[in-house]
Structure 1
Protein backbone atom coordinates (compact mmCIF):
# COMPACT_ATOMS: atom_id res chain seq x y z
CA UNK A 1 0.00 0.00 0.00
CA UNK A 2 1.31 3.44 -0.90
CA UNK A 3 2.90 5.63 1.75
CA UNK A 4 2.20 9.34 1.76
CA UNK A 5 4.95 11.66 2.92
CA UNK A 6 5.21 15.18 4.26
CA UNK A 7 7.60 17.60 5.91
CA UNK A 8 7.25 19.48 9.18
CA UNK A 9 9.25 22.71 8.94
CA UNK A 10 10.89 24.50 11.85
CA UNK A 11 8.73 27.28 13.29
CA UNK A 12 10.76 30.37 14.15
CA UNK A 13 9.42 33.16 16.34
CA UNK A 14 11.26 36.21 15.04
CA UNK A 15 9.47 38.24 17.73
CA UNK A 16 7.62 37.19 20.88
CA UNK A 17 5.92 39.89 22.94
CA UNK A 18 4.12 38.71 26.09
CA UNK A 19 1.17 41.08 26.44
CA UNK A 20 -0.78 39.63 29.35
CA UNK A 21 -1.96 36.57 31.22
CA UNK A 22 -5.49 35.23 31.49
CA UNK A 23 -7.13 34.10 34.72
CA UNK A 24 -6.77 30.48 33.58
CA UNK A 25 -2.98 30.92 33.40
CA UNK A 26 -2.59 31.10 29.62
CA UNK A 27 -0.23 33.83 28.44
CA UNK A 28 -1.23 36.30 25.73
CA UNK A 29 1.34 36.64 22.97
CA UNK A 30 2.08 38.74 19.92
CA UNK A 31 4.58 37.10 17.60
CA UNK A 32 5.86 37.13 14.02
CA UNK A 33 6.24 33.49 13.00
CA UNK A 34 8.07 32.27 9.92
CA UNK A 35 8.92 28.76 8.77
CA UNK A 36 12.37 27.55 7.78
CA UNK A 37 13.18 24.87 5.25
CA UNK A 38 14.93 22.61 7.77
CA UNK A 39 12.33 20.05 8.71
CA UNK A 40 11.30 16.72 10.18
CA UNK A 41 9.84 14.17 7.77
CA UNK A 42 6.78 12.02 8.23
CA UNK A 43 5.46 9.00 6.36
CA UNK A 44 2.06 7.34 6.82
CA UNK A 45 0.51 4.11 5.56
CA UNK A 46 -2.95 2.67 6.23
CA UNK A 47 -2.84 0.14 9.09
CA UNK A 48 -5.38 -1.58 11.35
CA UNK A 49 -4.27 0.50 14.33
CA UNK A 50 -2.18 3.58 15.14
CA UNK A 51 1.54 3.03 15.61
CA UNK A 52 4.60 5.29 15.52
CA UNK A 53 8.26 4.69 14.76
CA UNK A 54 10.83 7.45 15.28
CA UNK A 55 14.14 7.54 13.40
CA UNK A 56 16.70 10.18 12.44
CA UNK A 57 19.51 12.07 14.19
CA UNK A 58 17.24 13.44 16.94
CA UNK A 59 15.23 10.26 17.58
CA UNK A 60 16.77 9.62 20.99
CA UNK A 61 14.39 10.48 23.80
CA UNK A 62 11.35 10.95 21.55
CA UNK A 63 8.45 8.81 22.82
CA UNK A 64 6.40 6.61 20.52
CA UNK A 65 3.37 6.27 22.78
CA UNK A 66 0.40 8.57 23.37
CA UNK A 67 2.62 11.20 25.00
CA UNK A 68 3.94 12.07 21.53
CA UNK A 69 1.98 14.91 19.89
CA UNK A 70 1.95 12.96 16.61
CA UNK A 71 -0.03 10.16 18.23
CA UNK A 72 -2.26 12.60 20.09
CA UNK A 73 -2.98 14.45 16.84
CA UNK A 74 -3.75 11.21 14.99
CA UNK A 75 -6.18 10.10 17.69
CA UNK A 76 -7.82 13.52 17.83
CA UNK A 77 -8.54 13.44 14.09
CA UNK A 78 -9.63 9.81 14.27
CA UNK A 79 -12.16 10.57 17.00
CA UNK A 80 -13.36 13.89 15.54
CA UNK A 81 -14.08 12.35 12.15
CA UNK A 82 -15.21 8.89 13.30
CA UNK A 83 -12.39 7.11 11.46
CA UNK A 84 -12.13 3.34 12.03
CA UNK A 85 -8.84 2.91 10.15
CA UNK A 86 -5.39 3.29 11.69
CA UNK A 87 -2.00 4.30 10.31
CA UNK A 88 1.61 3.25 10.57
CA UNK A 89 3.55 6.47 11.07
CA UNK A 90 7.28 6.98 10.67
CA UNK A 91 8.74 10.20 12.02
CA UNK A 92 12.25 11.10 10.89
CA UNK A 93 13.58 13.66 13.40
CA UNK A 94 15.99 16.21 11.96
CA UNK A 95 14.99 19.03 14.32
CA UNK A 96 15.97 19.12 17.99
CA UNK A 97 12.99 18.80 20.30
CA UNK A 98 12.16 21.10 23.21
CA UNK A 99 14.18 23.76 21.41
CA UNK A 100 11.79 26.66 20.82
CA UNK A 101 11.21 25.90 17.15
CA UNK A 102 7.96 23.99 17.51
CA UNK A 103 9.17 20.71 16.10
CA UNK A 104 6.62 18.64 18.03
CA UNK A 105 3.78 20.97 17.05
CA UNK A 106 4.92 21.04 13.43
CA UNK A 107 5.06 17.22 13.45
CA UNK A 108 1.51 17.09 14.84
CA UNK A 109 0.25 19.62 12.29
CA UNK A 110 1.56 17.68 9.30
CA UNK A 111 0.14 14.51 10.88
CA UNK A 112 -3.35 16.08 10.89
CA UNK A 113 -2.98 17.17 7.27
CA UNK A 114 -1.57 13.90 5.97
CA UNK A 115 -3.97 11.62 7.80
CA UNK A 116 -6.98 13.61 6.62
CA UNK A 117 -5.74 12.89 3.10
CA UNK A 118 -4.90 9.25 3.83
CA UNK A 119 -8.26 8.57 5.48
CA UNK A 120 -10.27 10.69 3.05
CA UNK A 121 -11.83 12.96 5.67
CA UNK A 122 -12.24 16.72 6.02
CA UNK A 123 -9.15 18.26 7.71
CA UNK A 124 -9.55 19.92 11.07
CA UNK A 125 -9.43 23.73 10.78
CA UNK A 126 -6.75 25.59 12.70
CA UNK A 127 -9.29 26.93 15.22
CA UNK A 128 -11.00 23.60 15.95
CA UNK A 129 -11.17 22.77 19.69
CA UNK A 130 -9.32 19.51 19.02
CA UNK A 131 -6.43 21.49 17.50
CA UNK A 132 -6.28 24.04 20.32
CA UNK A 133 -6.22 21.21 22.85
CA UNK A 134 -2.95 19.99 21.32
CA UNK A 135 -1.08 23.18 22.19
CA UNK A 136 -0.66 26.87 21.45
CA UNK A 137 1.65 26.30 18.47
CA UNK A 138 -0.64 23.90 16.61
CA UNK A 139 -2.85 26.51 14.91
CA UNK A 140 0.05 28.46 13.42
CA UNK A 141 1.86 25.26 12.36
CA UNK A 142 -1.27 24.21 10.44
CA UNK A 143 -0.82 27.39 8.39
CA UNK A 144 2.79 26.57 7.43
CA UNK A 145 4.70 27.61 5.40
CA UNK A 146 2.94 30.98 5.38
CA UNK A 147 4.38 33.72 7.63
CA UNK A 148 1.84 34.64 10.29
CA UNK A 149 1.25 37.12 13.05
CA UNK A 150 0.20 34.99 16.01
CA UNK A 151 -1.62 36.55 18.93
CA UNK A 152 -4.07 35.69 21.68
CA UNK A 153 -2.98 32.38 23.19
CA UNK A 154 -1.81 31.30 19.74
CA UNK A 155 -5.30 31.03 18.30
CA UNK A 156 -5.55 34.44 16.56
CA UNK A 157 -3.70 34.32 13.26
CA UNK A 158 -3.19 37.02 10.67
CA UNK A 159 -1.36 36.43 7.36
CA UNK A 160 1.79 38.47 6.82
CA UNK A 161 2.51 39.36 3.21
CA UNK A 162 5.48 40.91 1.52
CA UNK A 163 8.41 39.78 3.64
CA UNK A 164 11.66 40.25 1.72
CA UNK A 165 13.74 37.27 0.62
CA UNK A 166 16.03 36.32 3.48
CA UNK A 167 17.62 33.38 5.27
CA UNK A 168 18.43 32.31 8.80
CA UNK A 169 21.23 30.64 10.68
CA UNK A 170 19.67 28.51 13.44
CA UNK A 171 21.85 27.70 16.44
CA UNK A 172 20.98 25.62 19.48
CA UNK A 173 23.52 25.17 22.26
CA UNK A 174 23.14 21.86 24.15
CA UNK A 175 21.13 23.27 27.06
CA UNK A 176 17.64 22.64 28.39
CA UNK A 177 15.31 25.61 28.79
CA UNK A 178 11.96 24.33 30.14
CA UNK A 179 9.13 26.53 28.88
CA UNK A 180 7.28 26.55 32.21
CA UNK A 181 10.43 27.67 34.03
CA UNK A 182 10.99 30.48 31.54
CA UNK A 183 7.46 31.86 31.90
CA UNK A 184 7.69 31.54 35.69
CA UNK A 185 10.88 33.62 35.67
CA UNK A 186 9.31 36.34 33.51
CA UNK A 187 8.81 39.36 35.78
CA UNK A 188 6.67 41.54 33.48
CA UNK A 189 3.81 39.78 31.74
CA UNK A 190 2.09 42.90 30.40
CA UNK A 191 4.40 44.07 27.65
CA UNK A 192 3.46 46.22 24.67
CA UNK A 193 2.32 44.50 21.46
CA UNK A 194 4.52 44.08 18.43
CA UNK A 195 4.78 47.17 16.23
CA UNK A 196 2.86 46.89 12.93
CA UNK A 197 5.00 45.53 10.14
CA UNK A 198 5.22 48.19 7.40
CA UNK A 199 4.40 47.04 3.88
CA UNK A 200 6.95 46.84 1.11
CA UNK A 201 10.08 46.53 3.25
CA UNK A 202 13.35 45.54 1.60
CA UNK A 203 15.89 43.45 3.52
CA UNK A 204 17.49 46.48 5.18
CA UNK A 205 14.10 47.88 6.19
CA UNK A 206 12.95 44.54 7.56
CA UNK A 207 16.19 44.16 9.53
CA UNK A 208 15.70 47.64 11.03
CA UNK A 209 12.09 46.89 11.98
CA UNK A 210 12.98 43.50 13.49
CA UNK A 211 15.80 44.98 15.55
CA UNK A 212 13.22 47.20 17.26
CA UNK A 213 11.04 44.27 18.41
CA UNK A 214 11.49 41.90 21.36
CA UNK A 215 11.42 38.38 22.63
CA UNK A 216 10.24 38.90 26.19
CA UNK A 217 11.35 35.38 27.12
CA UNK A 218 15.00 36.04 26.23
CA UNK A 219 16.02 37.47 29.61
CA UNK A 220 14.48 34.70 31.74
CA UNK A 221 15.77 32.01 29.35
CA UNK A 222 19.28 33.48 29.51
CA UNK A 223 19.15 33.52 33.29
CA UNK A 224 18.39 29.80 33.23
CA UNK A 225 20.85 28.97 30.42
CA UNK A 226 23.60 31.58 29.84
CA UNK A 227 24.62 29.73 26.68
CA UNK A 228 21.59 31.34 25.01
CA UNK A 229 23.20 34.77 25.38
CA UNK A 230 26.51 33.31 24.21
CA UNK A 231 24.86 31.94 21.05
CA UNK A 232 23.27 35.30 20.24
CA UNK A 233 26.58 37.09 20.80
CA UNK A 234 28.35 34.62 18.53
CA UNK A 235 25.79 35.21 15.78
CA UNK A 236 25.90 39.01 16.14
CA UNK A 237 29.69 38.91 15.71
CA UNK A 238 29.44 37.31 12.26
CA UNK A 239 29.61 39.50 9.13
CA UNK A 240 26.30 39.45 7.29
CA UNK A 241 24.12 38.88 10.37
CA UNK A 242 21.89 41.95 10.72
CA UNK A 243 19.73 40.78 13.65
CA UNK A 244 20.14 37.93 16.14
CA UNK A 245 17.60 36.73 18.66
CA UNK A 246 15.99 33.73 20.33
CA UNK A 247 13.04 31.74 18.99
CA UNK A 248 10.15 30.94 21.28
CA UNK A 249 11.23 30.08 24.81
CA UNK A 250 14.63 28.86 23.59
CA UNK A 251 17.17 27.54 23.40
CA UNK A 252 17.36 27.87 19.59
CA UNK A 253 18.67 31.25 18.44
CA UNK A 254 18.62 32.76 14.97
CA UNK A 255 20.72 35.10 12.90
CA UNK A 256 18.99 36.97 10.06
CA UNK A 257 21.00 37.18 6.83
CA UNK A 258 20.30 38.28 3.28
CA UNK A 259 20.64 34.97 1.43
CA UNK A 260 21.53 31.29 1.68
CA UNK A 261 25.12 31.83 0.56
CA UNK A 262 25.67 34.06 3.59
CA UNK A 263 23.76 31.66 5.83
CA UNK A 264 25.98 28.75 4.82
CA UNK A 265 29.14 30.76 5.42
CA UNK A 266 28.02 31.96 8.85
CA UNK A 267 26.85 28.48 9.80
CA UNK A 268 30.22 27.01 8.84
CA UNK A 269 32.13 29.52 10.98
CA UNK A 270 29.87 29.03 14.01
CA UNK A 271 29.90 25.23 13.72
CA UNK A 272 33.68 25.07 13.56
CA UNK A 273 33.97 27.19 16.70
CA UNK A 274 31.25 25.27 18.59
CA UNK A 275 31.26 21.67 17.46
CA UNK A 276 28.68 20.57 20.07
CA UNK A 277 26.05 23.13 18.97
CA UNK A 278 23.31 22.30 16.47
CA UNK A 279 23.80 24.74 13.60
CA UNK A 280 21.67 24.89 10.45
CA UNK A 281 21.49 27.38 7.56
CA UNK A 282 17.89 27.74 6.43
CA UNK A 283 15.85 29.62 3.87
CA UNK A 284 12.75 31.41 5.09
CA UNK A 285 9.85 29.76 3.27
Structure 2
Protein backbone atom coordinates (compact mmCIF):
# COMPACT_ATOMS: atom_id res chain seq x y z
CA UNK A 1 0.00 0.00 0.00
CA UNK A 2 1.48 3.34 -1.10
CA UNK A 3 -0.07 6.59 0.13
CA UNK A 4 0.53 10.33 -0.29
CA UNK A 5 0.92 12.40 2.87
CA UNK A 6 0.10 15.80 1.36
CA UNK A 7 1.37 19.18 2.47
CA UNK A 8 -1.14 20.97 4.70
CA UNK A 9 -1.47 24.70 4.00
CA UNK A 10 -3.09 27.26 6.30
CA UNK A 11 -4.63 29.82 3.97
CA UNK A 12 -5.59 31.78 7.09
CA UNK A 13 -4.67 31.24 10.74
CA UNK A 14 -6.16 33.33 13.54
CA UNK A 15 -5.00 32.82 17.14
CA UNK A 16 -8.14 33.53 19.16
CA UNK A 17 -7.24 32.66 22.74
CA UNK A 18 -5.17 30.62 25.15
CA UNK A 19 -6.45 28.02 27.57
CA UNK A 20 -5.37 27.72 31.17
CA UNK A 21 -3.27 24.67 30.25
CA UNK A 22 -1.27 26.77 27.77
CA UNK A 23 -2.80 25.46 24.54
CA UNK A 24 -3.60 28.17 22.02
CA UNK A 25 -7.03 28.36 20.39
CA UNK A 26 -7.00 28.63 16.61
CA UNK A 27 -9.41 29.47 13.81
CA UNK A 28 -7.92 28.41 10.49
CA UNK A 29 -8.67 27.63 6.85
CA UNK A 30 -6.78 24.51 5.77
CA UNK A 31 -6.26 23.00 2.32
CA UNK A 32 -3.94 20.28 1.01
CA UNK A 33 -1.54 20.36 -1.93
CA UNK A 34 -1.04 17.45 -4.30
CA UNK A 35 2.58 17.14 -3.19
CA UNK A 36 4.10 15.64 -0.08
CA UNK A 37 5.75 12.67 1.54
CA UNK A 38 4.98 9.07 0.58
CA UNK A 39 4.23 6.25 3.02
CA UNK A 40 4.50 2.61 1.96
CA UNK A 41 3.10 -0.25 4.06
CA UNK A 42 4.23 -3.84 3.63
CA UNK A 43 3.46 -7.03 5.58
CA UNK A 44 5.74 -7.81 8.52
CA UNK A 45 5.51 -9.72 11.78
CA UNK A 46 6.91 -6.72 13.63
CA UNK A 47 6.57 -2.97 13.44
CA UNK A 48 9.43 -1.14 11.73
CA UNK A 49 10.02 2.29 10.22
CA UNK A 50 12.52 3.19 7.52
CA UNK A 51 13.02 6.75 6.27
CA UNK A 52 14.28 7.49 2.77
CA UNK A 53 14.16 10.46 0.41
CA UNK A 54 15.89 13.81 0.00
CA UNK A 55 14.91 15.04 3.47
CA UNK A 56 15.46 11.83 5.43
CA UNK A 57 18.42 13.20 7.38
CA UNK A 58 17.61 13.66 11.05
CA UNK A 59 14.18 12.03 10.90
CA UNK A 60 13.89 9.47 13.73
CA UNK A 61 12.92 5.89 12.96
CA UNK A 62 11.75 4.97 16.46
CA UNK A 63 8.99 6.01 18.89
CA UNK A 64 9.98 9.66 18.57
CA UNK A 65 8.44 9.64 15.09
CA UNK A 66 4.71 10.47 14.92
CA UNK A 67 4.20 7.62 12.44
CA UNK A 68 5.36 5.14 15.09
CA UNK A 69 3.12 6.81 17.68
CA UNK A 70 0.21 6.60 15.23
CA UNK A 71 0.82 2.86 14.81
CA UNK A 72 0.86 2.41 18.58
CA UNK A 73 -2.55 4.09 18.84
CA UNK A 74 -4.01 0.82 17.49
CA UNK A 75 -4.39 -2.34 19.61
CA UNK A 76 -1.01 -4.00 20.25
CA UNK A 77 0.31 -6.99 18.38
CA UNK A 78 0.12 -5.64 14.83
CA UNK A 79 3.06 -5.68 12.45
CA UNK A 80 3.96 -3.64 9.40
CA UNK A 81 7.10 -2.53 7.58
CA UNK A 82 6.56 1.20 7.12
CA UNK A 83 8.71 3.26 4.76
CA UNK A 84 8.53 7.05 4.80
CA UNK A 85 9.89 8.76 1.68
CA UNK A 86 10.51 12.25 3.04
CA UNK A 87 10.18 15.28 0.74
CA UNK A 88 8.57 18.05 2.82
CA UNK A 89 10.83 20.46 4.75
CA UNK A 90 11.24 19.97 8.48
CA UNK A 91 9.61 22.56 10.77
CA UNK A 92 8.13 24.14 7.67
CA UNK A 93 4.63 25.08 8.81
CA UNK A 94 2.98 22.68 6.35
CA UNK A 95 2.25 19.82 8.71
CA UNK A 96 4.79 17.35 7.41
CA UNK A 97 4.93 15.20 10.54
CA UNK A 98 1.22 15.58 11.21
CA UNK A 99 0.28 14.61 7.67
CA UNK A 100 2.62 11.61 7.90
CA UNK A 101 0.91 10.51 11.12
CA UNK A 102 -2.58 11.04 9.71
CA UNK A 103 -1.76 9.12 6.53
CA UNK A 104 -0.30 6.30 8.61
CA UNK A 105 -3.49 6.18 10.70
CA UNK A 106 -5.74 5.90 7.64
CA UNK A 107 -3.45 3.46 5.88
CA UNK A 108 -2.89 1.18 8.85
CA UNK A 109 -6.62 1.11 9.59
CA UNK A 110 -7.17 -0.33 6.11
CA UNK A 111 -4.01 -2.45 6.15
CA UNK A 112 -4.87 -4.12 9.45
CA UNK A 113 -8.67 -4.07 9.02
CA UNK A 114 -9.07 -2.18 12.29
CA UNK A 115 -11.21 0.87 13.16
CA UNK A 116 -9.47 4.21 13.47
CA UNK A 117 -8.37 5.22 16.97
CA UNK A 118 -10.79 7.51 18.80
CA UNK A 119 -10.76 11.28 18.44
CA UNK A 120 -8.87 11.85 21.70
CA UNK A 121 -6.07 9.50 20.66
CA UNK A 122 -5.78 11.20 17.27
CA UNK A 123 -5.68 14.69 18.84
CA UNK A 124 -3.01 13.53 21.30
CA UNK A 125 -0.65 13.12 18.33
CA UNK A 126 -0.80 16.86 17.61
CA UNK A 127 -3.16 19.74 16.87
CA UNK A 128 -2.82 19.33 13.08
CA UNK A 129 -3.39 15.58 12.99
CA UNK A 130 -7.24 15.61 13.10
CA UNK A 131 -7.53 17.96 10.11
CA UNK A 132 -4.91 15.94 8.25
CA UNK A 133 -6.96 12.79 8.92
CA UNK A 134 -9.98 14.63 7.50
CA UNK A 135 -7.82 15.36 4.46
CA UNK A 136 -10.09 17.84 2.65
CA UNK A 137 -10.50 21.64 2.70
CA UNK A 138 -11.72 22.53 6.18
CA UNK A 139 -12.10 25.12 8.88
CA UNK A 140 -10.08 24.02 11.91
CA UNK A 141 -10.87 25.56 15.30
CA UNK A 142 -10.25 25.07 19.00
CA UNK A 143 -6.99 23.24 19.65
CA UNK A 144 -7.44 21.29 16.42
CA UNK A 145 -10.40 19.13 17.39
CA UNK A 146 -13.16 21.18 15.75
CA UNK A 147 -13.21 20.35 12.01
CA UNK A 148 -15.85 21.73 9.63
CA UNK A 149 -15.86 21.01 5.86
CA UNK A 150 -15.49 24.13 3.75
CA UNK A 151 -18.13 25.13 1.23
CA UNK A 152 -17.13 24.77 -2.40
CA UNK A 153 -13.79 26.24 -3.42
CA UNK A 154 -12.86 27.14 -7.01
CA UNK A 155 -10.03 25.26 -8.78
CA UNK A 156 -6.68 26.49 -7.51
CA UNK A 157 -2.98 25.91 -7.97
CA UNK A 158 -0.56 26.61 -5.16
CA UNK A 159 3.15 27.38 -5.16
CA UNK A 160 5.01 26.45 -1.98
CA UNK A 161 8.36 28.02 -1.16
CA UNK A 162 10.58 27.36 1.83
CA UNK A 163 13.65 29.62 1.99
CA UNK A 164 15.75 26.96 3.70
CA UNK A 165 15.18 27.95 7.32
CA UNK A 166 13.48 26.09 10.16
CA UNK A 167 11.21 28.10 12.46
CA UNK A 168 10.36 26.26 15.71
CA UNK A 169 6.62 26.48 16.37
CA UNK A 170 7.04 27.07 20.11
CA UNK A 171 9.28 30.08 19.60
CA UNK A 172 6.80 31.66 17.18
CA UNK A 173 3.86 31.27 19.57
CA UNK A 174 5.98 32.62 22.41
CA UNK A 175 6.73 35.75 20.38
CA UNK A 176 3.05 36.54 19.70
CA UNK A 177 2.06 40.06 20.73
CA UNK A 178 -1.38 38.86 21.81
CA UNK A 179 -3.31 35.60 21.82
CA UNK A 180 -6.89 36.94 21.87
CA UNK A 181 -7.34 38.02 18.28
CA UNK A 182 -10.68 38.13 16.38
CA UNK A 183 -11.83 34.90 14.68
CA UNK A 184 -12.33 34.39 10.97
CA UNK A 185 -15.16 36.27 9.24
CA UNK A 186 -18.30 34.30 8.46
CA UNK A 187 -17.97 31.77 5.68
CA UNK A 188 -20.22 32.27 2.64
CA UNK A 189 -22.84 29.49 2.92
CA UNK A 190 -22.70 28.59 -0.77
CA UNK A 191 -18.93 28.87 -1.09
CA UNK A 192 -16.90 30.99 -3.46
CA UNK A 193 -17.93 30.99 -7.15
CA UNK A 194 -14.47 31.80 -8.47
CA UNK A 195 -10.92 32.54 -7.43
CA UNK A 196 -11.35 36.36 -7.19
CA UNK A 197 -14.26 35.88 -4.76
CA UNK A 198 -12.13 33.60 -2.59
CA UNK A 199 -9.22 36.04 -2.64
CA UNK A 200 -11.53 38.92 -1.66
CA UNK A 201 -12.65 36.88 1.35
CA UNK A 202 -9.12 35.79 2.27
CA UNK A 203 -8.00 39.42 2.22
CA UNK A 204 -10.23 39.91 5.28
CA UNK A 205 -8.17 37.26 7.10
CA UNK A 206 -4.56 36.92 8.20
CA UNK A 207 -1.95 34.61 9.66
CA UNK A 208 -1.35 35.85 13.19
CA UNK A 209 1.89 33.86 13.36
CA UNK A 210 3.44 35.54 10.33
CA UNK A 211 4.68 38.74 12.06
CA UNK A 212 6.54 36.94 14.89
CA UNK A 213 7.91 34.36 12.44
CA UNK A 214 9.21 37.08 10.14
CA UNK A 215 11.13 38.70 13.01
CA UNK A 216 12.93 35.38 13.57
CA UNK A 217 13.43 34.56 9.90
CA UNK A 218 13.67 37.60 7.59
CA UNK A 219 13.92 35.16 4.67
CA UNK A 220 10.13 34.73 4.96
CA UNK A 221 9.64 38.31 3.83
CA UNK A 222 12.02 37.78 0.92
CA UNK A 223 10.07 34.69 -0.19
CA UNK A 224 6.76 36.55 0.01
CA UNK A 225 8.13 39.46 -2.01
CA UNK A 226 9.30 37.06 -4.72
CA UNK A 227 5.96 35.26 -4.82
CA UNK A 228 3.92 38.46 -4.96
CA UNK A 229 5.99 39.63 -7.93
CA UNK A 230 5.15 36.58 -10.05
CA UNK A 231 2.62 37.00 -12.90
CA UNK A 232 -0.70 35.40 -12.01
CA UNK A 233 -0.15 35.41 -8.25
CA UNK A 234 -3.50 36.10 -6.58
CA UNK A 235 -2.12 36.36 -3.06
CA UNK A 236 0.87 35.21 -1.02
CA UNK A 237 1.11 34.44 2.68
CA UNK A 238 3.02 32.32 5.16
CA UNK A 239 1.56 28.94 6.11
CA UNK A 240 1.23 27.79 9.71
CA UNK A 241 4.11 28.87 11.91
CA UNK A 242 6.48 29.13 8.90
CA UNK A 243 8.81 29.30 7.21
CA UNK A 244 7.03 27.87 4.17
CA UNK A 245 5.14 30.49 2.18
CA UNK A 246 2.46 29.94 -0.44
CA UNK A 247 1.00 31.76 -3.42
CA UNK A 248 -2.39 30.99 -4.95
CA UNK A 249 -2.93 30.86 -8.71
CA UNK A 250 -6.06 30.19 -10.72
CA UNK A 251 -4.17 28.46 -13.55
CA UNK A 252 -1.53 25.74 -13.80
CA UNK A 253 1.08 27.25 -16.09
CA UNK A 254 1.71 30.54 -14.23
CA UNK A 255 2.07 28.49 -11.04
CA UNK A 256 4.57 26.10 -12.61
CA UNK A 257 6.47 29.02 -14.15
CA UNK A 258 6.66 30.74 -10.77
CA UNK A 259 8.03 27.66 -9.02
CA UNK A 260 10.58 27.02 -11.77
CA UNK A 261 11.74 30.64 -11.85
CA UNK A 262 12.15 30.84 -8.07
CA UNK A 263 14.00 27.52 -7.95
CA UNK A 264 16.40 28.71 -10.67
CA UNK A 265 16.95 32.05 -8.96
CA UNK A 266 17.27 30.62 -5.44
CA UNK A 267 18.60 27.07 -5.78
CA UNK A 268 18.85 26.66 -2.01
CA UNK A 269 15.09 27.22 -1.66
CA UNK A 270 12.49 24.45 -1.82
CA UNK A 271 9.95 25.37 -4.49
CA UNK A 272 7.05 23.30 -5.82
CA UNK A 273 3.80 23.92 -7.70
CA UNK A 274 0.78 21.66 -7.27
CA UNK A 275 -3.00 21.68 -7.55
CA UNK A 276 -5.03 22.03 -4.36
CA UNK A 277 -6.68 18.71 -3.51
CA UNK A 278 -10.38 18.05 -2.97
CA UNK A 279 -11.83 21.02 -4.84
CA UNK A 280 -15.01 21.10 -6.89
TM tier, shorter chain?
A: over 0.9
Structure 2: unaligned runs, 5 residues or longer: none
Q: Secondary structure at the match of 1:187?
A: coil
Rounded to whole Å, the distance in 2 between the matches of 1:43 and 1:200 is: 36
Q: Secondary structure at the match of 1:209?
A: helix
Rounded to whole Å, the distance in 1 between the matches of 2:6 and 2:156 is: 16
Pairing 1:97-108 to 2, within 5 Å after superposition: 97-108=90-101
Contact 2:192/2:198 (CA < 8 Å) preserved in 1? no
Q: Residue 180 of structure 1: which of 148, 155, 170 is its match? A: 170
Pairing 1:115-264 to 2, within 5 Å after superposition: 115-125=108-118, 128-144=119-135, 146-198=136-188, 199-264=191-256
Q: Secondary structure at the match of 2:247?
A: strand
- In the other structure, the counterpart of 1:55 is 52
1:151 shift after superposition? 0.3
1:179 shift after superposition? 0.4
Contact 1:173/1:228 (CA < 8 Å) preserved in 2? yes
1:271 shift after superposition? 1.3
- In the other structure, the counterpart of 1:44 is 41
The TM-score with structure 2 as length reference comes to 0.96
Rounded to whole Å, the distance in 2 between the matches of 1:17 and 1:252 is: 17
What per-residue deviation string (whole Å, max 9, x for no partner) do you get for residues 112-156 of structure 1?
11111111111235xx21111100001000011x10000000100
What per-residue deviation string (whole Å, max 9, x for no partner) do you get for residues 60-89 of structure 1?
111101100000111112xxxx34221110
1:264 shift after superposition? 0.2
Runs of 4+ in structure 1 off by over 4 angstroms are: none
Structure 1: unaligned runs, 5 residues or longer: none
Q: Residue 26 of structure 2: which of 5, 24, 29 is its match? A: 29
Rounded to whole Å, the distance in 2 between the matches of 1:118 and 1:202 is: 39
1:204 shift after superposition? 0.9
Contact 1:221/1:250 (CA < 8 Å) preserved in 2? yes
Asked if 1:93 is matched to 2:86, the reply is: yes
Q: Secondary structure at the match of 1:163?
A: coil
What per-residue deviation string (whole Å, max 9, x for no partner) do you get for residues 180-230 of structure 1?
000000011111001123223311111111122100000000000000111
The TM-score with structure 1 as length reference comes to 0.94
- In the other structure, the counterpart of 1:66 is 63
Rounded to whole Å, the distance in 1 between the matches of 2:84 and 2:33 is: 18
What per-residue deviation string (whole Å, max 9, x for no partner) do you get for residues 235-285 of structure 1?
111111111000000000001111221110111121121111000001001
What per-residue deviation string (whole Å, max 9, x for no partner) do you get for residues 148-175 of structure 1?
0000001001000210101111000111
Contact 2:73/2:117 (CA < 8 Å) preserved in 1? no
